Amino acid sequence: MRDAYALQGMKALITGGKRRIGRGVALALAEAGADVAINDLVLAEDAEMTQEMLRGMGRETAFFGADISDSDQVNRMFDGFLERFERIDILVNNPYGGRYESIRVNAADPFIERVGYVDVSSGVYVKTCGPPQAKLGLRCWTTIT
């Protein structure tokens, strides 16, 4: 049987962590013992709900607003995270740059172009703009939603 608290004391940052896949990942990491900060564009009711759920599990949490397709905002997000948590052990990049509607299969569509841009640029910015001291032993995952 695996240790249910294998991540005890670790510090995690999840982009797109306020709902859906990001919320599920945040709750799973918290259940395994990690303190979890979430990111999204703006603090909204669903982000506050996710944070309440994390606190209810006895975990420390914070919200960092940033557009993860913008390298300057990504750097400020990391700076804020490190100021609050002192280190990053786990990074989950969970970008979504679209709207909540079905995707039309047309590569020239601005919606498809934006989703692709956010998915690709956030993967580059989030994984490469992280503070150098956090990279040693940092666990990183990216989802494409």
pLDDT digits (tens, 9 = 90+) for 84-143: 999 888 888 887 654 444 444 444 444 444 444 444 444 444 555 455 545 444 555 445
Question: Is 15 a residue whose pLDDT tops 70?
Answer: yes
- C-alpha R_g of the chain: 15
* Domain spans in the chain, listed from the N-terminal domain onward: 11-142
CATH superfamily, domain 11-142, is NAD(P)-binding Rossmann-like Domain (3.40.50.720)
- The per-residue pLDDT for 90 is 86
pTM of the model: 0.71
- The per-residue pLDDT for 138 is 56
